[in-house]
Amino acid sequence: MPTTSLEKKTFILLLVLVTIAFIWILMPFYGAVFWAVALAVVFAPLQQRMARRIGGRGNLSALLTLLVCLLVAILPVIFVTSAVVAEGTSLYQRIDSGELDVGAYVTSTKEMLPPFLQQQIDRIGVGNLDDLQESITSGAAAGSQYLATKVFAIGQGTFQFVISFFIMLYLLFFLLRDGQELVRDIRMAVPLGDNTKRRLQIKFTRVVRATVKGNIVVAAVQGTLGGLIFWILGIPSPLLWGVLMAFLSLLPAAGAGIVWAPVAVYLLLSGDIWQGVVLTLFGVLVIGLVDNILRPILVGKDTRMPDYLILISTLGGMALFGLNGFVLGPLIAALFVASWNLFAAGKKTVRLPE
């Protein structure tokens, strides 16, 4: 370690420069690196239990954990994504050819409403059926076209995807095997107090596990249930709607009800009473209760942030980092809150009794 003041400043400058350079060379594969770290944090307890059961053999326990992670978390996401893109392509073709007229559904729904509701719709400025029909049809076409273009994007980026995928698996293996040693080395290197480092590490671990394990599992369950009831009721493109419900359930102010509730209303107004009633009851009693039952179990009360902070950080994270942002956004927000709480706690003075 440098001793003189000039040597220390030079060494710190060198440390900052090489750290920035290292992060820079990792940026092309930052998604692979990030998900390797996130999955390692989530599956670390499983790897540790396996290591104890097989006599502490790190390589074998890490390999077995990697296989479990691949089968449980990674491959299902790849298969569902491929199926959703294919279904989106089919939906776009049906809208583009005129086989599926989205605007006509909106028109018929408005005409089925009671007269006083139609007057309220006209009063707020959305009563022009031609403009409304054109807007919704173009919006639906644009959304399904976006999914359709992903087919070509995936084909063009196959090599990049394969490289990133194997980098993630390769890095995940070593993080599972050597994760505890790496965490100890990082904690020793960070120039903070032991108590501060421990609390930040605990907060980081809890937020990653809560976001990846808790929020994603809850979203997957809600999306699966929503897609299943859509398929049972014969609603077109159930997989696509199920994935949309899963995505919206990640946002506290949105939720899966944004998808199933309008469909239930349309079914009731169009005369499909039993389908509308079944969808409404299932949405309220099953899909809606999943969040209240599973989230406290998987996430825990001590890792929850205010809903408004989760919403803003999730949307902001996705705007900056793409799909990875729904984990990165809340993680950065949680570390921000934890850091300021630690700073505020350090500023508090102890009052002597009078």
Closest CA to 72 of 37, 31, 42: 42
Residue 104 to residue 169: CA distance in whole angstroms = 48
Residue 351 pLDDT greater than 60, yes or no:
no
Predicted pLDDT at 350: 41
Task: Pick 196 or 141 by higher pLDDT.
Answer: 196
Structure tokens at 45: 């307890």
Residue given tokens 């095997």 in the structure block: 177
Residue 1 pLDDT greater than 60, yes or no:
no
Predicted pLDDT at 349: 45
Closest CA to 251 of 332, 312, 325: 312
Residue 132 pLDDT greater than 60, yes or no:
no
Q: Within a 13 Å sphere around the CA of 232, how many CA atoms are in the beta-carbon half?
A: 12
Predicted pLDDT at 352: 37
Label residue 253 by pLDDT band (50, 70, 90): low
Residue 129 pLDDT greater than 70, yes or no:
no
Across the chain, what does the average pLDDT equal?
75
By mean pLDDT, which of 32-36, 88-92, 279-283, 321-325 is the weakest? 88-92
Residue 287's φ and ψ, nearest 5 degrees, are: -65, -45
Label residue 7 by pLDDT band (50, 70, 90): confident
Rg of the chain, C-alpha, whole Å: 25
State pLDDT tens for residues 195-248: 777 777 777 777 777 777 777 788 888 888 988 998 898 887 788 888 888 888
Q: What percent of the chain is modeled with pLDDT above 90?
A: 2
Residue given tokens 């491929």 in the structure block: 82
Residue 276 to residue 186: CA distance in whole angstroms = 55
State pLDDT tens for residues 328-345: 887 788 778 777 777 776
State pLDDT tens for residues 50-89: 888 887 777 888 899 899 888 887 888 777 777 777 776 6
Residue 264 pLDDT greater than 80, yes or no:
yes
Residue 175 pLDDT greater than 80, yes or no:
yes
Residue 161 to residue 166: CA distance in whole angstroms = 9
- Cβ proximity of 248 and 233 under 8 Å: no
Predicted pLDDT at 142: 57
Predicted pLDDT at 259: 84
Mean pLDDT, to the nearest integer, of 9-28?
Answer: 86
End-to-end C-alpha distance for the chain, whole angstroms? 48
- Residue 38 CB neighbour total at 10 angstroms: 22
Predicted pLDDT at 283: 87
